[in-house]
């Protein structure tokens, strides 16, 4: 179900807690909401639809992927960039890494470790920040 986007900085500034199999509906809502906003948004975290659980969804231009409890375990190639966010006005400068290795659980809650670069890596970093209560 498509949900409203949370824009309250106090709510978004709080850390999300671990997601479990009980949060599958939230993941589905997140994908529906991302798809609904696909013209203006490439990734979302669950707290942006009002659920403080560590779930992200992102669109790499080909397909939408979901990660439960994602965590960056390795990063390299720091650079400065500018980003915008569906929950905020305008764009803001931020620091990102060109290459990241992420440990997460898939929709069967199996642990996966994968490396991402470039644009996809940037989206994932932005959304994991949301899980940690960090806004750009
Ligand atoms: Zn954002």
Q: How far apart are CA 11 and CA 18, in angstroms?
A: 17
* Ligand 1 centroid, distance to 21 Cα (angstroms): 24
Q: Would you identify the CATH topology of the domain 9-131?
A: Peptide Deformylase (3.90.45)
Would you say the pTM of this structure is higher than 0.75?
yes
* Ligand 1 centroid, distance to 25 Cα (angstroms): 21
Return the biggest CA–CA distance within the chain.
38
Which spans in 8-133 are helix H?
9-12, 24-36, 118-131
For the chain, domain boundaries = 9-131
* Ligand 1 centroid, distance to 43 Cα (angstroms): 7
Listed residues: CB within 5 A of ion ligand 1: 85
- What pLDDT digit, counting tens, does each position of 57-110 carry? 999 888 999 999 999 999 999 999 999 999 998 899 999 999 999 999 999 999
| Closest of 100, 89, 75 to residue 136, by C-alpha | 89
- What pLDDT digit, counting tens, does each position of 4-38 carry? 999 999 999 999 999 999 999 999 999 999 999 99
Residue 18 is among the residues annotated as catalytic for this protein: no
């Amino acid at each position: 179900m498509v949900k409203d986007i949370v824009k309250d900085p106090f709510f978004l500034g709080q850390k999300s807690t671990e997601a479990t199999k009980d949060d599958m509906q939230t993941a589905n809502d997140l994908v529906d909401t991302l798809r609904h906003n696909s013209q203006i948004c490439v990734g979302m975290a669950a707290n942006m639809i009002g659920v403080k659980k560590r779930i992200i969804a992102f669109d790499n231009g080909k397909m939408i992927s979901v990660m439960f409890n994602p965590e960056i375990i390795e990063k390299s190639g720091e650079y400065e960039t500018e980003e915008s966010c569906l929950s905020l006005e305008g764009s803001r400068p931020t620091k990102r890494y060109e290459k990241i290795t992420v440990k997460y659980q898939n929709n069967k809650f199996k642990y996966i470790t994968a490396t991402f670069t470039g644009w996809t890596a940037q989206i994932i970093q932005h959304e994991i920040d949301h899980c940690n209560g960090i806004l750009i």
